[in-house]
Structure 1
């Protein structure tokens, strides 16, 4: 067992850009791909992940100092350090029972595939730490390890069901067939769903308004490189940068927005042959079923709407952090909040105006949850030594994935001490999820029926 754990720990230490392609290569060989094709697809996927990671790091490195400069001008002091997702992952993996999450995740996935309760094969094993994080939170609240694994199991089931329901919309938005997202960040879409339903009733907000529509309205000013340059100028001015620093930031933002769609093409190049091989395999083994490959969010990174919403959310989050009652976290490492923009992208179908409204509404949620998680994440960091903290210093994350779900499921047992707020939030989230899930399924069914009718007419 210790040898196996050491091997897995080593593979995980290599990062998603290596670990996920290895899983994809193995999966490709299992479903009958030629070795050269499977290896080529795996390496290309590794290139895509690395490219996306480099770009996100590049953009974070450019924008974070500007965001910090904006906060420094206010003189506001917030005591909780934002360690970002990497620090939360490090702390989560320091939990003594973390390794056991792998067999739990794989076992539930295989069981649900066998009994036909999901069509998603979750290849995103590297992000198992998200389940560990939830489990750690449950232990921090209840002290119960068995309960922690029960809650983690529930999260795994929801991730698979959510991936099934989103696949049709994800394929439509990304153009990549047979692939879906198994990351828990999409859980926030359930909360956004009823708000978006209301927004759709407003005539001005129900019109098509994605990045392409924006180009039609404002021409060159909506081109990726020009729009990035303009946003960089705005950030530089807000941060009170010098002219040279502002222009440098503008070019950096323009570079990032220009290259994101380029990198996404490599995801398509890697995943298309794997998707086809998996589909052929399932048709042979299970007639009438289509197996979906579940991955992390970056394959959707070519959608400009996501990045426009992310950049917009930076000053909004900073503004909220200064004046939001109950917030004590200083947003920094998590300031590029993908977990806010991706759910808004999915629930609106890429409508940029509604995405901006949802991101504005969603920003405070991340700050409140980040503040709520600080005490026990700090305790775990101090107990394990996973992260070195100064005396009295607290740490958390201002962009915790699926914040409503994670907070509600980990804190629900606080009702035993008379705190019913997490339980109420849990009921609300489940209700929203059920309605959103049914809506996605109806959308998929309608699209399939329309496709069948179209096909019949072509044959006739």
Structure 2
């Protein structure tokens, strides 16, 4: 058992940039692609994802002076907010972790084969989103079978949400043949913000407000260009956080560069993914009939290519800090989640159809809900970490306890029936 666990931990530690080329190439060969083209597709997707990770890190690094400015305000809180990396590492120490990946993937293939779903989830490095709720259930209920079942339900349940959002995802972001299978955003943020936009549609006056990056470009000329918008957003962040002249230049250039480079990296990924998607659909139609098609499940990061995502991400940094002071009884200061704000943006922008006003409204509401639940379920988060191999001092929380639907459901069930 330890051998298998060590193998899977080592396998997953390779990261998406190594796993993606292997997975894409193998799937390409399975779907009857020429071996050379399958390998090339895998490499392009891996290179594109590596570039995407680098540029996202550039964005986070560029706005780090802004985060540091607000960090000084956040003293006096008694709970530590950790990022997703230590939380994911902790989830791998539970007894059933080694069985989660093969079980979910095998069931996914069976469901696709019998036309129960059109989604084939290859976003294996994000299976953490399924494993964390399972680890939480194991910690709270003391039963490995329950924990495994929760992970399995999350891994299969997301496929149906991903299939629902696939047409909108492909149409808005231009990511043909793909969908998003990152649980927190496909099965929680998308439905929530979809509903919020339906409510906004019913509010007279507000439903007419439309601030769109492409429309700004037509009205403002060079100042509406996405390149300039990125620099201006960086300048705005620097001014409100009272940055030095040199930091202002660094922040402005970093945000501007991110807005230009992220779409380029996504396009490299799509250059590799498109042939796979075409081959997969031809293969499925040949095996299951002409009406069969398949969506390749991918990371939420693919949605970061829209300029509106970077714009609202930058604006949401100070808004998130402000929310921490507004929400009653907050026991932690949001630090780790500031580096994860960008991943909240794509679904908010998608359901708002690129409308910056709506995107900011929905994103602000979602962030407030996230922080509220993270604060509410500090006890559950601490209990989960306590049964894993990750050593923590005092109480902790993390973003997954605010926006992972599996964690929310498990935590609410525990609060109602077990306390």
TM-score by length of 2: 0.92
Determine if contact 1:137/1:376 at 8 Å carries over to the other structure.
Answer: yes
Q: 1:429 is matched with which residue?
A: none
- Root-mean-square deviation (CA, aligned residues, Å) is 2.2
Where in structure 2 are there 5+ consecutive unaligned residues? none
CA drift of 1:126 comes to: 1.5
How far, CA to CA, are the matches of 1:87 and 1:2 in structure 2?
Answer: 20
Determine if contact 1:85/1:399 at 8 Å carries over to the other structure.
Answer: yes
Q: 2:51 is matched with which residue?
A: 51
Q: 2:269 is matched with which residue?
A: 267
- Runs (4+) of structure 1 exceeding 6 A deviation are none
Where in structure 1 are there 5+ consecutive unaligned residues? 419-460
CA drift of 1:325 comes to: 0.8
Change beyond 3 A, Cα 1:326–1:112:
farther
Matches within 5 A, 1:367-386: 367-386=371-390
Determine if contact 1:64/1:332 at 8 Å carries over to the other structure.
Answer: no
Change beyond 3 A, Cα 1:2–1:70:
closer
Matches within 5 A, 1:198-347: 198-201=199-202, 202-206=204-208, 209-287=211-289, 288-336=291-339, 337-347=341-351
How far, CA to CA, are the matches of 1:178 and 1:54 in structure 2?
Answer: 25
CA drift of 1:379 comes to: 4.3
TM-superposition CA deviations, 1:350-371 (whole Å, max 9, x none): 2222111101111111212222
How far, CA to CA, are the matches of 2:283 and 2:21 in structure 1?
Answer: 19
Q: 2:139 is matched with which residue?
A: 140
Change beyond 3 A, Cα 1:114–1:326:
farther
Change beyond 3 A, Cα 1:2–1:93:
closer
Question: SS where residue 294 of structure 1 aligns?
Answer: strand
TM-superposition CA deviations, 1:244-295 (whole Å, max 9, x none): 2222211121111121111111121111111111011111101121011111
Question: SS where residue 82 of structure 1 aligns?
Answer: strand
How far, CA to CA, are the matches of 2:6 and 2:406 in structure 1?
Answer: 31
Change beyond 3 A, Cα 1:118–1:340:
same
Question: SS where residue 395 of structure 1 aligns?
Answer: strand
How far, CA to CA, are the matches of 2:384 and 2:133 in structure 1?
Answer: 13
Comparing 377-386 with 339-348, which one deviates more in the overlay?
377-386
Residue 194 (str. 1) matches residue 198 (str. 2): no
TM-score by length of 1: 0.84
Q: 2:38 is matched with which residue?
A: 38
Residue 17 (str. 1) matches residue 17 (str. 2): yes
Determine if contact 1:68/1:332 at 8 Å carries over to the other structure.
Answer: no
Residue 353 (str. 1) matches residue 386 (str. 2): no
CA drift of 1:4 comes to: 4.3
How far, CA to CA, are the matches of 2:406 and 2:8 in structure 1?
Answer: 28
Determine if contact 2:401/2:408 at 8 Å carries over to the other structure.
Answer: no
Question: SS where residue 335 of structure 1 aligns?
Answer: helix
How far, CA to CA, are the matches of 1:69 and 1:154 in structure 2?
Answer: 41
Aligned residues: 414
Change beyond 3 A, Cα 1:294–1:28:
same
Comparing 140-149 with 223-232, which one deviates more in the overlay?
140-149
